[in-house]
Each structure stands twice: as C-alpha cells, then as structure tokens.
Amino acid sequence: MGEKRFQKLNLTEIQPAGWLLRQLEIQMEGLSGRLYEVWDSVGSYSGWLGGTGESWERAPYYLDGLIPLSYYLGDEKRWELCKRFVEWTLNSQTEDGNFGPVATREDYWSRYAMLKVLLQYYEITGDKRVLSFEKNYFSYIVREVEDRPLTNWSRARVPDLLYCMKQIYEWTGDEAVIRQAKALDAHSMDWISFLDVLPFPRPTSYYMTWESIENINHSELDKIVPFHATHIVNVTMGLKHPALHAYFYRDIDGADITRRGIEQLEHFHGLASGCISGDEHLSGRDPRQGAELCSVVEYMFSLEVMLEIFGNPKLADKLERLAYNALPATITEDYLAHQYLQQANQVQVDVRKRPWYNNRNDASVFGLEPNFGCCTANMHQGWPKMVDALWFKEGEETLVSMVLAPSQMETALGEEKVSLSLDTEYPFKDTLSYTFHSSHTKKISLKVRIPSWCEGPLVTCPGAEITEGREGFLVITKAFQKGDQVLVRLPMEMRFTHWYRDSVAAERGPLVYGLDIRERFQVIREVAGIRDYAVYADSPWNYALSLGEKIRVEEKDLGEIPFGKQEPPVRIYMTGKRVPSWRLENGNTTELPKKEEITGEAEEVCLIPYGCTNLRISQFPWY
C-alpha cells in the first residue's frame, strides 16, 4: 500500500536560486504580493477570514501559491497574511469535521483546495493541528457523501482530495486514511476510463454547442451533458487520478493509462506550448483556440504529483515545456497582468468576439481579472510549487535532479546529511553545474535527468562512476567530498515538430520559439491601480519558415527579467517568406496557408523564446 517510485523532499529542503529566485521575486513584486490589497475576492472581506465576501475557491487558490512563495522569499509581511487565513480556517472546524465559511458550508470542492494549502503550511511549520484537522475532515466527508453525494466540481476534482489523503497518510501512517481514500475514490468522476480511451477526440462544440446548454441549471449539467468531463481545468486536474488510484489500490497500471491519456489529449487537443487547448472546454488543435491559465498551473501540479509516484522522466519534459513556455507567456513580465486564455498563434489581443467555446470577449486581454477571476487567484502556484519537483530521493543512497532549474538542496540520505547546489542558466543554455557542500564517508548516487530531446549528453566528474541509465537518467556515483563538482552538458540542437495542418514549431532544448513581433500595448481600463491591456502587432507576422536554410543562434547573458521581451536571452535567426494570403480577421489569423500560397521573397526572420512573447506565431507554415 502507498507505493511510489520517488520520495518527495520536504518543502523546506529545497531553495530556489539564480534566475528562478529572481522569477519568484518578480512574482511577489507583482500581483502575488499585491492581490490582497487590490482585489476584493481575496481581501479583508474574504469569507476565509470570516467576512461577507467571496467564500468559495479564490482565497484557497491564492494561498496555494502565496504560502510557498512567502516562505522561499522570507517575506514576513505576506507570511503573516497567510497565517491569518490559516488560523481562521483551523479555528473554523466544527464538531462534525466540516470547516470554512458558513456561506459555502455545503460545498466540498473549495475545502479540497484549502486542504492543499494546509499541507504546505504543515511542511513549513510542522504545526500538528493540520494533521488532526485534515483527518477530521476526511471522516466528515466519508460520512456525508452517503446522504449528500459529490456533484459537479466536487466530483470532478476528487483527485485533489486524494492527493491530500496521500500526504496525510505518509505523515501519520494512519491506515484509516487508506480506507477513507478508497471510499471517496469510488465517488470520483472516472478519469481513469477517460484517459484510457479518450471519449472526446473532437472539440467540445462537436458534441454540444454552448448555446444549447448555457441556460441549463448548473447543478443538473452532468446529468444531461458532459460539461465537467470536457472542462479543461477539470481534465488537467484529473490527469493525476490514475497515479493516485494506483497508489492506494495497486490494481491498475496507472503509469500506462496516464501515458496513453496524455498521448491522446496531445494528439487531439495539443498545442506547441505544451498546453491542452480549452477555452474553456476541450477545443482541438487549432493554434487560434485558447488555453486557460488555470489549466497550465493545474497541469503542472498534476505532473508534479505523477513524477513522485511514477518517476517517469518524460513527465518532467512535459512539466518543463509548460513552465518554460506557456506559463511566462500568459503573464506580463512584471507580473501585474495576465490572460485568461493564451493562443499558440496570437497576433492581436483585444476585446472582441473570438472563436472561444464559452469564454467572454475579454478572455485574451492582459489584466487583473479578464473573463473570470479563477485565474487571477490560481496563477500564483505555478512557479513556487514547481520548486518541489526539482529534487527527489530514491531509496537511501540516491538523489534525483528531476526538473532542471537553479536551486540549493539539503536533505538526509540514510544517516548522512547531503547538501548540493545546481548553478545553471537552463533552459536558455545547456550547462548544469552541481556542487557538493557536504562530505560523505560512503558512495551516493546523483541521478540527473536527460531530457528526451537531448542526444549525447556530456558529463565530467573526476573519480566518479558514470553510467547512462536506460530510463533517461545519468547516474554519477562517488563518495562525494565538499567542493566536488559534477558538470553536465545537454547539447541543444534545433528541431522542428509538426502540429495542426502540418504546421511546424521551432524548438531548441525545452524551449519553443515564437516570431519576434513588435508589440504595442494599449491601456483599456484600470482597476485599483492595475491596468488591463490590449496588444497589437506593429510588425509583420505572416511568415512561413524555410526548413532548409542555415540557422543562426545568438545567446546573451540573462538579464534581470529571465523571460524578458526587450532583451530575450536567446535569439534564433532563420529564413522565411511572408504569405500575403495569411491575414488578420476579426483579431485572429485566418486558416494556416497551404504550401502553394508561400510565394514571397526570402528574408531573415527572428525567433525568441515563446515565454518572452506577448504576441507570437509559434506554429508556422513552412516550405
């Protein structure tokens, strides 16, 4: 029972460094640090502080990112704010085990979200009240669902509750939690069957038009149409269901079901950025369709959970693709504005009717609360919670460097303390430099993930045994001494992947590249000092790429803004041709042109990292 491949480190055992630390600082300087003061949904009137304001998911969403962010940055002011929410929540539990704002007392889903918050609080503080609090709620919900079944969001998002139960079981060893988890798993939407054979290979509009269901009572939706089964955030949350079911039951091949499910979702709904399209329901592969920011950070979290349980390094490839492309692209570089929806091919951002399934006209603008406030609350978890997936342990003798980013780690292997840092400008550059800050009397192993795109990794470590594992890891074994270094180079060659209508994405390392378009921001409104923007292209965008010409790569030192638009750390120069028939139509590109339409004069075009763009073409026609 409770088997998994890797052991997650305690949140306090990993610290971000280098550009990743700077990215977290930018986040705190932006909306993450200001939201309590500028947005009523998580402000002083919040129901999660005993007030009369929003009492559902928004404060828990916000805290899910703010708690680890405040800890990593040592930000006492925001940490004290987090503690106010936590203390109110811990003191709100009633004798039956339920908790939270009275206004939403019968809601289950928002409680799952707050339980996730409390897990991180416990990791940081060791406050044992969290353990009994969560177990009390598990007992409550197991009793309650017999008379008041899970529906809608609460049914679709049971995997998040199962994750909390997994953590509590590991910390307490209480076998009752296992029995309760199995009982609640039986009430979940069946994401396992969903991922085994994807029931919705077409855009959701093929199965049901929004106009046909928008007036149906929401509590009745799942009885009539597959609303929650096609909702993109539910889908990305549900991805971790096979892993968690397998953790508790061991009666399915959760890893294989997950692999097939992701392959099907990518095949029918995948975008070059790593997103599964959904605006706000599964929307196919057309790069003009949207991908919701909530789905980006929830997909990241599901991958983080699956990495621990399955240990499959290919899942880290997918996590890096999202984190290093989709996440920074949908939030402005100062972290003061975000989109609800991003597009893989996005050449104009403004308020107008787009081909979204059921999102409003402002869903792609950058701002405080475009379309709906869930992303305003939820986007903060992306970077801070990824830190937890940088390092794992395997057994008593092996450290695993999984997601590659600058960091410091200190933990115990058996009876010995080990301290290690990774200095790198990856994903922009190809070199990883590991330095040990502890000495060891016996051999230990450092396993470094080899990304699946990398051929011929190079490693240097004098006196070490070095093997390249078949599972996608370099293994460096030695009785490491303080000051020992391991240098790993992951050569980044240009490659081109094929997408919707045989479009191509230009990739190098874990980064996807987009056309460098001159962007003009226009303020369209201002709320509480936070501006909303439309963005227009002030340079041509309708280029096809030549795949047979010489490619030139220019690298620069990282600036103060890692994913900065003005000084991107990498530029790629290629040959391309403008395609006059490929035009702007109602804010979107027209359909991707056919090869016979590519007849213009060849010229040099510049591509920059997708995460450095606000406007972009990332899925190109080609010749």
Claim to verify: residue 498 and residue 611 sit in the same structural domain:
yes
Q: Tell me what pLDDT residue 2 has.
A: 65
Claim to verify: residue 498 and residue 595 sit in the same structural domain:
yes
Residue 213 lies in a domain: no
Residue 137 lies in a domain: no
Q: Which of 458, 489, 520 is the last residue of a domain?
A: 489
DSSP-assigned states of every residue in 184-209: HHTTS--HHHHHHS-S--S-GGGT--
DSSP helix/strand/coil, 389: helix
Residue 274 lies in a domain: no
Residue range 58-108, pLDDT digits in tens? 999 999 999 999 999 999 999 999 999 999 999 999 999 999 999 999 999
At 26, the amino acid letter reads: I
H or E stretch including 420? Answer: strand 416-424
The number of folded domains in the chain is: 2
Residue range 407-445, pLDDT digits in tens? 999 999 988 999 999 999 999 999 999 999 999 999 999
The answer to whether 31 and 336 are in contact (CB under 8 A) is yes
The pair of structure tokens assigned to 319 is 């996590």
Helix and strand totals (H; E) in the chain: 21, 28
Name residue 410's beta-bridge partners. 419
The answer to whether 75 and 124 are in contact (CB under 8 A) is no
Q: Tell me what pLDDT residue 221 has.
A: 80
Residue 49 lies in a domain: no
Residue 113 lies in a domain: no
Residue range 99-146, pLDDT digits in tens? 999 999 999 999 999 999 999 999 999 999 999 999 999 999 999 999
The pair of structure tokens assigned to 51 is 């007030």
DSSP-assigned states of every residue in 311-354: --HHHHHHHHHIIIIIHHHTB-TTSS-B-SEEESEE-EESSS--
- The enclosing domain of 409 has a CATH number of 2.60.420.10
Q: Which of 489, 519, 535 is the last residue of a domain?
A: 489
CA distance 296 to 294: 5
The pair of structure tokens assigned to 142 is 């197991």
Claim to verify: residue 475 and residue 521 sit in the same structural domain:
no
Task: Verify cis geometry, omega within 30 degrees of 0, for the bond prior to 549.
Answer: no
Claim to verify: residue 564 and residue 611 sit in the same structural domain:
yes
Task: Please give the residue range of the domain that contains residue 447.
Answer: 390-424+430-489
Low-confidence ranges of the chain (pLDDT < 50): none
Residue reference for tokens 């092996």: 398
Residue 564 lies in a domain: yes
Q: Which of 473, 489, 505 is the last residue of a domain?
A: 489
Claim to verify: residue 481 and residue 556 sit in the same structural domain:
no
Q: Tell me what pLDDT residue 250 has.
A: 85
3-state helix, strand, coil in the chain (%, to 5): 40, 25, 40
